[in-house]
Structure 1
């Protein structure tokens, strides 16, 4: 059987991959879409063709020997986008990992390298496959040389042999250069004969066979105009033929034996895939003996010796320990601890939770603030240990928070994922040890689990220094050490303490909503003149659009659309619409919030223990889950009343709520240094009335409530990066009107306009934007050629410093307030953070003190050029405290 050689046109395939796929980038901000597309094609070739020899040929530069013939060769071609240019070195590194030869030759193109090697291989009886997106290479087609041209995307190709070429294009391989000579090629700026297209060229070649014969027998060409074109552009035609002819005797310095391909090392390629973020491709290259995909073989790892402890000898503690408290499930409030690993410079240790909590030395060590603990997720660790009566002190490093600040766009910050990004790979992914989802369980072999948890702690111990160094290099160490770390422990205490819930009140609310829903349903049936399934669009649609003859806004494949946006457009058409919308809103309140909250109340304590996500949002804002207490709808009075069920945990205590007034707009005024905004806030003016006055050119006294509402939407729209389309939807006006509002706003506040422009330019220069406290948000799409991606990145560049800085302020206020409550020896404690609001509970006798210190602390937490303003209220429930 003949040897098989595969030759790939590197520039052509990378170029096509780049434009076929959306811009992708890995966690380091490196663009990877061209590399990814190229890789999918490469894997397909290796799987299907199993080549004996391989080469990827690249162009060496802009100038080639063809430019001596025609200076304008490839002239006018657009400059290669920098997002593509920067991927070629990455692509070559990937080829090195695959151990595939790549080559370029000064003054020659990839086509010439391929043509020369294909000819040599054909003469040596090799079977050759050429892969490209360039039809010029079809001139190489023969019985021994097949050319695969990309069609749609990258992996979809047409493979040409002489028969298929004749069937597809009605020419022989040797006529390809004549075809191109006649029709030219605008992509390479090859002139050809103006006015001669592919059909005419094929017709001429069928009649005359080749270019030379056409000109020898020019009088036999039919058509006066065609004859004139050929005659007038003879020089261009022959020059074009010379330009498109591939050089098959280029001075290539690699021989066929140099191209020998002996397959790749799976783990080496998998490692590169992980660095590039190609998780979906890992399973295609790396499979261990035990069948687990994409993981380096444990037999190649450094062996570790795990000492299983039943107590904690004092002589093994150094004061700098990496600690992993392992739980299988995300909900660590309910998940049991399956083991604890401690790694330090002396060794690797494992202890069960039962032995740990019964060991006085262990408990004392956990609670000794002078002994440093390096942990993964200090908040999670604190909550888990508090459940067993231990208070974590001395947490000096948090791998989760460090990783989050360094890579805020990354969505996986568990220890194996972090370690792989940091090239410390000797630890399995959790699912390989415990299984996935509902199937997660402790392995039967305890030694496997003990080693896995200890390997995690060992990785943590190794990475601490390099992670801190990167934070310092990014000027984020203070953000990490002074803000996020202390906040994690405060949030842990808040989570552990939970919020008291009046279960009976919640249940009564559910009953009240049931009665309301029944009444509204009856009213809807009366208006419709019949009963039907309100939750069925198939039944609701005909009622609205056929029986009641309302205008049809939108149709779907299955009938009429009855989505919320459609119904909102119909509100003025019939009173039934408003009732249907209310029915849906109240139904969601009952199912999502009343029933949802009842499901997560702790039966023993009647408390809800929400979990705060500290390492999730790219703006730095906190969010909460299970349940999401930041998302209880309060626009409807029925939704607001849900807060009545959140009450103090002790008798004669009250709920105390304090929130920042318009903090984002105050931050904007400070960042933008806009004189009008700063003056308005300093003078205590209503900022929305002030903006309406500017935008509508009215005195403040002339501003109507409608004008103020529109100005408010513009104010907050600027903060959240709203577009004219978004504002038009928000206000129910045309895009033209919305655009006019935004333009008037920016002309009224020139400092804001300048800030927005500068923030975009800064993002383009650096690739990221920062907040007050140097939190970063990376924006690789800021230089994208794709308008939508670039526009989103530009809006994000404008609003992230505002939203992120506001988040920094609130986080710092929480730390300052926690410190102050302790200094004053108050019993009051923070329960929740909801956007710009802090909710506390406190004894009634501490109210006067809270009224003084809470606003004082929150307003002085940072010094801005405008005053921070805090409102507070209190009462027997969260509802009454607002």
Structure 2
């Protein structure tokens, strides 16, 4: 941290060391040094608090002070404003995200028993000056931690100013000698004279116009002080002399304002103040409340071993483990009795199921059910394929196996928390529909389910991981112990799944409180949790695909790919280069063939990028690039779908493909699909259409697709309240044609296909926050023309402009954007300095209310449709969700009834100021239906 080793400073053993921190200075520097991506569990920003604590701990490590205090400004700087009314008047208001972190840091300082010094009307500078002189007189060595250079005037043999330069770690320790060296002869006591001449624009201290640091230090070096400079003002020649003589009063006032006061009404008990002197539990609780547990061990290390031993462990406590073996019945009665007790008392249980497939496992290939209660962790081990338990299992139907019996009762009668509820449902309703189902996921009461990862995701949807360590750290304020099998894990360490169960049970209450505080509880309980069972059922149903057709398509495409490769290599004049290698392709296109590189950027490895955007630009003029794009599309379709889907379907006993739906991946709230990703098959390309011909509904059934029509545009109309947009939808007009007429100033009946296409691009571009550059690229038109189109759009729909501007303003103020149903998306980019990142944040803020609300609506529709399919006795099954579309396998004789029910349900999810329209189509294959 320090440029000057502490050991070189005068610090006789008889003198105590005190550090006094300028709280306002460090909080401002921390706020701008740490990216605004950190938040407490309740959503409050914590980047400044984190940065402050980081600097604080580095200061402790560097100087090992016996005592610490922190000074803060309080109220307006009345003391200096009386000297200079315009003092700091030009400074903008404090950022709201920073302002709300001051009470947080003060609460934390209280938790670590650090005195806070402040006085109404006084600045932290003067409090530091007052305490510095008092400490020096009390026989202490003082370190003043600040970012203000005018504090250098306080340096003496026993007062050091630790100046932060850049960020939080680059500092310099100022002594009288280093101050004089820095300012070319200006000693600490002359620093106010120096500021009297040069002024300080950051504080609105005028000084003398035209006199900067170099001239100020030269004048003082020549005459000895500001008073002597003024006395010899007539000797100073030129414009500088004129300014000096005309601004003598300004110089004197500026010196007075720049002089640090040492008589602030504050006191510090140097004898009674010690550091560290805090309680471990208080620190853990305070850090945990703000979700800054990464700092916990660093603070606890300060007191551990120094007489203040940590009273409570900082790692997760695991209750006693009650082990039961289904094969022998050993321990089963006690384990089941504990589960029965927890159920009867209405406890939340943390539940996980894992496999032990290691050769040395006690029971061979086993399943283990882990259930954490308030008293114990129940572990029921059962060999795969086991039947009934050989001992009595009162209250549990174990005819299909002990784990199935226990889990069924827990889900039907209990309150189950888990990091993956869907995985538990699949234990009883396997994804492979050829395997027997012990429990229909839709029969499980949703009010008894709590998916901890889904809950954590709703509180921070831009985060990519919500593992046990994160949940324990953020919501329980403890670290996870090492699990069995981990490096350096002690003998008898609990299994990872046991820890998962304990964490899941423990975080229910804090997560529930956080969801309530963030207004996210309705989204969790009414949208996301009911959806889990629906997704489990859809994953089990899967989709029927024809492996033979896929194989034939792959073989045909393989020949086309080979032909394309031959043509590309022929045009390149190189019959051996790897077309799939970006480096080799870049060499061929730009070095060998000399294609233009203007405006292109090189990758970190030093070659020009050949990404899709670059190639699409070049494809307009170069045949080889067009062929390369075609080659890429065909090889991707072949490897991702044609060569994968058939073998995947054949790996299941039912011969179907079973995608996995992910609820916690996208920041918008949309579902994603994986293994395989069935949402990403190209919808507009001929190849994508061809892939979909391999999906069918089976004999006697058809494929039915129902999707929302222009849902995001309809939501824009509703949310913006723009009367023209609303009227266009309510009157049932061709919305894109209507927009074209308004934007291009022609009657609707004269709108050409090209004008309608352009209007459509603008309509959807506005929803996604697209700017002129993006529109110019998508339509291949000049920037000026794209900008004019957008301007005309906002003239035609003025309510939209107002709404989008207000949405961005609200997002900047709150730190997030919100859907109609209360789903929040944090947007830290809005606070970032990089213009491109801020621009992304603004587009995100504009888009989230529409895209996120559309995601909420389709999820609600899925839940309601699934319930009606079950309750109304349909044989049709919901098999796929792709953004705004729901797909079904439907017997031919049910099509009309199904379409009517699904449309009614989808259109009735929410009442908008414009109609919510769902459109249906059907066919023998997925391709035919769409």
After TM superposition, the score normalised by the length of structure 2 is 0.83
- Aligned residue among 575, 578, 583 for 1:533: 578
CA distance in 2, matches of 1:34, 1:654: 58
- 1:103 to partner: Cα distance: 1.0
1:207 paired with 2:207, answer: no
SS in 2 for 1:340: strand
- Secondary structure of residue in 2 paired with 1:65: helix
Answer yes or no: is 1:556 the counterpart of 2:602: yes
| Structure 1 residue 874, shift from structure 2 partner | 3.3
Aligned ranges 1:705-716 → 2 under 5 Å: 705-716=753-764
* Alignment partners' CA distance in 2, 1:705 and 1:505: 37
What are the residue-to-residue correspondences of 1:205-354 with 2, within 5 Å? 205-218=220-233, 221-262=235-276, 268-269=282-283, 271-278=285-292, 281=295, 284-285=298-299, 298=313, 304-308=319-323, 310=332, 312-313=336-337, 316=341, 317-318=343-344, 320-327=346-353, 338-341=368-371, 343=373, 349-352=378-381
2:911, 2:181 → 1: CA distance? 76
Kindly state the Cα deviation for residue 711 of structure 1 after the two structures are TM-superposed.
Answer: 0.9
Match of 1:332 in 2: none
Deviation string for 1:663-705 (max 9, x for gaps)?
2223333334444434433444322222112211122332222
- Quote the Cα distance in structure 2 between the aligned partners of 1:501 and 1:279: 49
Q: Measure how far apart 1:621 and its partner are.
A: 1.9
CA distance in 1, matches of 2:895, 2:27: 67
Task: Name the SS of the counterpart of 2:597 in structure 1.
Answer: coil
* Aligned twin of 2:433: none
Displacement after TM superposition at 1:834 (Å): 0.6
Corresponding position: 1:396 with 2:439? no
Give distance in 1, aligned partners of 2:544 and 2:630.
Answer: 29
Out of 632, 637, 644, the residue aligned to residue 681 of structure 2 is: 632
Structure 1 residues 356, 286: closer, same or farther in 2, change over 3 A?
farther
Higher mean alpha-carbon deviation, 868-877 vs 567-576, is at 868-877
Cα distance 1:486–1:244, how it changes in 2: closer, same or farther (>3 A)?
closer
1:600-629 C-alpha deviation (Å, 9 max, x unpaired): 556132333222122443433222223322
> In the aligned structure 2, how far is the partner of 1:21 from the partner of 1:470?
24
Distance in 2 of aligned mates of 1:793 and 1:540: 34
CA distance, structure 2, for counterparts of residue 881 and residue 46 of structure 1: 68
Q: Would you say the 8 A contact 1:319–1:371 is kept in 2? A: no
Whole-Å separation in 1 of the counterparts to 2:608 and 2:513: 59
- Cα distance in 2 between the residues matched to 1:80 and 1:604: 60
**Partner residue of 1:4 out of 12, 17, 20:** 17
Structure 1 residues 879 and 234: alpha-carbon distance in aligned structure 2, compared to 1, 3 A threshold = same
Task: Please state how far the C-alpha of 1:450 moved relative to its aligned partner.
Answer: 7.9
1:651 deviates by 4.2
Query: CA–CA distance in 1 between the matches of 2:208 and 2:795?
Result: 54
CA contact (8 A) 1:831 1:840 kept: yes
Contact 2:547 2:647 survives alignment (8 Å): no
**CA 1:738/1:279 → structure 2, altered by over 3 Å: closer, same or farther?**
farther
Of 717, 739, 745, the residue aligned with 1:691 is: 739
What SS does the aligned partner of 1:640 have?
A: helix
- CA distance in 1 between counterparts of 2:503 and 2:701 reads 44
Q: Does 2:176 match 1:162?
A: yes
The 5 Å alignment of 1:515-526 reads 515-526=559-570
User: Shift of residue 185 of structure 1?
Assistant: 1.4
Q: In the alignment, which of 495, 503, 506 is matched to residue 459 of structure 1?
A: 506
Deviation at 1:489, TM superposition (A): 0.9
Question: SS of 1:352's equivalent?
Answer: strand
- Residue of structure 2 equivalent to 1:292: none
Secondary structure, aligned partner of 1:630: coil
Q: Which residue of 2 aligns with 1:733?
A: 781
Which of 375, 378, 387 matches 2:417?
375
Distance 1:236-1:617 versus aligned 2 partners, 3 A rule: same
Asked if structure 2 preserves the Cα contact closer than 8 Å seen for 1:571 and 1:577, the reply is: yes
Q: Distance in 2 between matches of 1:234 and 1:200?
A: 16
Kept in 2, the 8 Å contact 1:36–1:278? The answer is yes
Deviation at 1:515, TM superposition (A): 1.7
Mean Cα displacement is larger for which, 503-512 or 401-410? 401-410
Return the match for 1:386 from 415, 422, 429: 429
CA contact (8 A) 2:370 2:377 kept: no
In the aligned structure 2, how far is the partner of 1:336 from the partner of 1:657? 42
CA contact (8 A) 1:443 1:449 kept: no
Displacement of 1:785 in angstroms is 8.6
> Secondary structure of 2:448's match?
strand
1:658 to 700, 706, 712: 706
The answer on whether the counterparts of 2:140 and 2:158 sit within 8 Å (CA) in structure 1 is yes
2:557 paired with 1:513: yes
Aligned residues of 1:370 and 1:394 also touching (Cα < 8 A): yes
Q: Which residue of 1 aligns with 2:663?
A: 614
Unaligned runs of 5+ in 1: 290-294, 330-334
User: In the alignment, what sits opposite 2:362?
Assistant: none
Q: List runs of 5+ in structure 2 lacking aligned partners.
A: 1-12, 305-309, 325-331, 356-364, 399-403, 431-435
> Given the alignment of the two structures, is residue 20 of structure 1 paired with residue 33 of structure 2, yes or no?
yes
Q: How far is 1:279 from its partner? A: 5.8
Map 1:85-234 → 2, pairs under 5 A:
85-171=99-185, 172-218=187-233, 221-234=235-248
Distance across 1 between alignment mates of 2:314 and 2:244? 71
Q: CA–CA distance in 1 between the matches of 2:117 and 2:804?
A: 46
Whether the 8 Å contact between 1:375 and 1:381 is mirrored in structure 2 is no
Cα distance in structure 1, aligned partners of 2:672 and 2:607: 38
Which string of whole-angstrom CA distances, capped at 9 and with x for unpartnered residues, describes residues 269-313 of structure 1? 455444434465556446799xxxxx9964887784554452535
Change (3 A) 1:372 1:701: same
- The residue aligned with 2:360 is none
Distance change in 2, residues 1:584/1:34 (3 Å): same
Tell me which of 850, 859, 883 is aligned to 1:802.
850
Q: CA RMSD in A?
A: 3.7
Identify if the C-alpha distance between structure 1 residues 357 and 809 changes in structure 2 by more than 3 Å, giving closer, same or farther: farther
Instruction: Answer yes or no: is the 8 Å Cα contact 1:340–1:353 preserved in 2.
Output: no
Flag the 1:95–1:383 CA change in 2: closer, same or farther, 3 A.
same
Q: Relative to 1, partners in 2 of residues 1:279 and 1:410: Cα closer, same or farther, differing over 3 Å? A: farther
Q: Which residue of 2 aligns with 1:490?
A: 534
**1:190 counterpart SS class:** coil
CA shift digits 1:787-840 (9 cap, x unpaired): 666655554444323223322322232223223322442222111101111122
C-alpha separation in 2, matches of 1:162 and 1:471: 54
Q: Check the 8 A contact 1:550/1:573 in 2, yes or no.
A: no
Deviation (angstroms), 1:579: 0.5
Note closer, same or farther for the CA distance 1:640–1:47 as it changes in structure 2 (3 Å cut): farther
- Of 201-210 and 811-820, the range deviating more from structure 2: 811-820
SS in 2 for 1:873: strand
Q: Distance in 2 between matches of 1:419 and 1:243?
A: 50
Moved more, 513-522 or 145-154: 145-154
Distance in 1 of aligned mates of 2:232 and 2:859: 85
1:571–1:858 Cα change, 3 Å: same
CA gap 1:607/1:68 in 2 versus in 1, 3 angstroms = same
- Which region of structure 1 is more displaced relative to structure 2, 511-520 or 670-679? 670-679
| 1:766-777 alignment, distance < 5 Å | 770-777=818-825
Deviation at 1:566, TM superposition (A): 2.3
User: What are the residue-to-residue correspondences of 1:47-66 with 2, within 5 Å?
Assistant: 47-66=61-80
CA offset at residue 488 of structure 1?
Answer: 1.6
- Please give the secondary structure, in 1, of the residue aligned with 2:166: coil
Aligned 1:801-820 pairs, distance under 5 A: 801-820=849-868
- Return the alpha-carbon distance in structure 2 between the equivalents of residues 881 and 300 of structure 1: 55
Match of 2:884 in 1: 836
* Among 84, 87, 91, the residue aligned to 1:77: 91
> Which deviations, in whole Å up to 9, do the C-alpha atoms of 1:27-67 show, x marking residues without a partner?
43322232222222112112222222222222222134333
Report the Cα distance in structure 2 between the residues aligned to 1:631 and 1:357, rounded to whole angstroms: 44
